[in-house]
Chains A and B, each alone.
Chain A
Amino acid sequence: MMVDRMQTFTTDQITRIHDASMELLSSVGVAFNEPEALEIFASNGFRVDGKTVFMTDTQVQKALETAPSRFTVTARNPEKSVAVGEDDFVFVPGYGAPFITLPDGSQREATMADYDNFCKLVQTSKTIDMNGFMMVEPGDVSPETAHLDMMFSSIVLCDKPFMGSPVSKQGARDCVEMATILWGGKDKLAATGPVSVSLINSLSPLQFSDEMAGSLIELARANQACVIASLIMAGSSGPVTLAGVLALQNAEILAGITLAQLVNPGAPVIYGSTSSAMDMRTGGLAIGCPELSMVVSATAQMARFYKLPSRSGGGLTDAHCPDGQAAGESALALSTAARNGINFILHSAGILGSYIAMSFEKFLMDEEMCGIVRKLIKPIDFSEEAIDVQMIKTVGIGGQYLTQPKTFKLCRTEFYMTDFFNRQNHAGWKAAGSKRIDQVATERLSQRLAAYEKPPIDPDVETALSSYIAKRKKIS
């Protein structure tokens, strides 16, 4: 029996959550503040009363049948395409922070230049698999068209798969239009399959805003992947007990997935959650807490029950600078997500202060942790070659392995080599200036940005993308 002290749910426990969610969906329903969503539900025979949609177990199960358990997100550089679902997972950067934390712990408003720099860090990252969206919320561009600027940078500065723009129905259409330009037309995009993943959040308890429901409809229609996620603050926008949180978030997530499948049966969706506890002393959201990681594990298990890919947060913390608390909390959530089988690990790098800020230093530290965690869960090779009893016999009692040919052959590849985390002894560390790891990260940052090279892109495509956003900005 596999022993991991994190709780593995029994079928009975999962069924209780499922049944509770179904009771909520059929008796309380979910409010969709988007007329088209209500029309779609009504025309498919769902009971709709005002803005509230009621769902039966049969209706939800039917929708779940068409949702894929794994899908590929194609990158413009085909070598960088990723798979999401089952055994495959991706590390994706932080999302939604309005501020940048500076090395001294102060905050300033994030800018478009910061966004571009995060695109460059993702492009040069060995461990971050996908580019993000809204990695910071730039304060120096118009909020109505910021999504266009961010999408442009995401696509042009980096050739990994990107996250889409779910800011509004029009924002989602812009994402699809820009993807169409990038892939050379609607037919080619359709033949390629999903090229983006967008983040759709419910508004707990039991609501979807017009922006989110509208974006979900547009993106599902275009066969672009969506994370349907719930962010419950336990004790405030949801029950104070975690089992209650699971029942409530499950109802919200299944409602969103059902809408996506009605729009486009087979639309790629991800079962997502970043629910956590409210800090009862301050009323603030706590994301560095153990409850967050417990929900991460639970979300992975519920998603597997429905045979769906899952999403949670990764390097999450409530600390305001990249200190010991930040590193500890982030590593806990990140490793919990990876170990428990989450497939889309958002916020893998950069987040500080309960989502309020991104830090370049924290990004580099988290990035290193992503590499460490990926190695942590890599299975040990049990082949004869790997056990190699013959070599152990040869060395015998009291010998040494440093001069064995195999050690020589594998010394650079067998172990995870830290990128910049310290492995020096005290004298060496002192000689290098006695620097904390966040101070080393500040130095690394300029090297990384200097080493960045813009990935090649067809100049006509880049011009077409520029023209599109220029045209859209004129209208807005």
Chain B
Amino acid sequence: MTTQDIFNAVLAFDEATVITLTQAELDGGTDIDAILNDGLISAMDEVGERFSSGELFVPEMLMAAQAMKAGLAILKPHLSAGQSQSKGVVIIGTVKGDLHDIGKNLVSMMMEGAGFEVVDLGVDVESEAFVKTAAEKSANVIALSALLTTTMPSMESTVKAVKEAGMATRTIIGGAPVTQAFADQIGADGYSADAPGAVKLVKQLVA
């Protein structure tokens, strides 16, 4: 039994086995960092690549992410303060006035799967809520979603609010009508056309 088995169980979407194996590795004294990085996180990196290449479908990717999170939950109480619990903190939400959340949820789940701590503020989120939560959590990135052109101005006001608060937190945006040009125009730090792209973008921004 090795961390490779945990890796394999995540790729087999087998949550129960991930839980059993993670607990067993932990009880057996395997280094927690090895379980986390070689088992769980590297499995999700592989899942991300297989999804991007079209090999995995969305529900399969999400099932793998759930299995990974179940393993992570077992490790969490044993992680010391020095050990990185996550690759970074992402605050995500659909902006003020917009209630659409399918794309946002997809990005949220993929980011969790990639090892980020994600705080999902839901839909119809005020600029102040993004700023406040990002400050509380010392977030690396704020990710904003919108499906309506009428709510895209809320992205602009949120990005502005983050800048005015003098925070180092980076902002990224996405959603069907959103473009790179719009991101540039409102001064957002990044844009992605799809969920895997958003994960790659956040990885670059926190690197």
Contact = CB atoms under 8 A, between A and B. Distances in A.
Contacts of A280: 57-59
Where chain B touches its partner, the secondary structure class is helix
A203 interface: yes
A281 B149 contact: no
Chain A's interface size range is 20 to 34
A278 to B, nearest CB: 7
A278 B149 contact: no
B54 A281 contact: yes
Interface string B165-199: 00000000000110000000000000000110000
Interface stretch (A11-19, A82-90, A232-240, A385-393): A232-240
B58 A233 contact: no
A284 B57 CA distance: 12
A110 to B, nearest CB: 9
Given A209-B99, A278-B58, A356-B176, A283 B153 contact: no
A203 B148 CA distance: 13
B26 interface: no
Contacts of B106: 283
B201 to A, nearest CB: 16
A424 interface: no
A143 interface: yes
Given A236-B102, A283-B103, A98 B177 contact: yes
A476 interface: no
A167 interface: yes
A280 B61 CA distance: 10
Nearest to A136: B149
B150 interface: yes
Nearest to B151: A143
Interface string B96-119: 000110110010000000000000
B150 A143 contact: yes
A204 to B, nearest CB: 10
Interface residues of B, number: 16
Interface in A220-268: 233, 235-237
A282 B194 contact: yes
A137 interface: yes
A105 interface: no
A248 to B, nearest CB: 15
A98 B59 CA distance: 29
Given A278-B58, A283-B58, A356-B176, A143 B102 contact: no
A139 interface: yes
Contacts of A282: 58, 194
A356 B177 contact: yes
B207 to A, nearest CB: 25
Nearest to B106: A283
A392 B140 CA distance: 83
A233 B153 contact: no
Interface string B49-74: 00000100111000000000000000
Contacts of A99: 177
Interface string A98-109: 110000000000
A284 B174 CA distance: 13
A137 B194 contact: no
Contacts of B153: 143
A25 to B, nearest CB: 21
B198 to A, nearest CB: 11
B99 A203 contact: yes
Interface string A128-149: 0000000001010001000000
Given A139-B149, A207-B99, 18 more contacts: A33-B99, A98-B149, A137-B149, A137-B177, A143-B150, A143-B153, A167-B150, A203-B99, A203-B100, A209-B99, A236-B102, A281-B58, A283-B102, A283-B194, A283-B195, A284-B194, A356-B176, A356-B177
8 contacts: A137-B177, A167-B150, A203-B100, A209-B99, A237-B102, A278-B58, A283-B58, A283-B102
Interface of A: 33, 98-99, 137, 139, 143, 167, 203, 207, 209, 233, 235-237, 278, 280-284, 356
Interface of B: 54, 57-59, 99-100, 102-103, 106, 149-150, 153, 176-177, 194-195
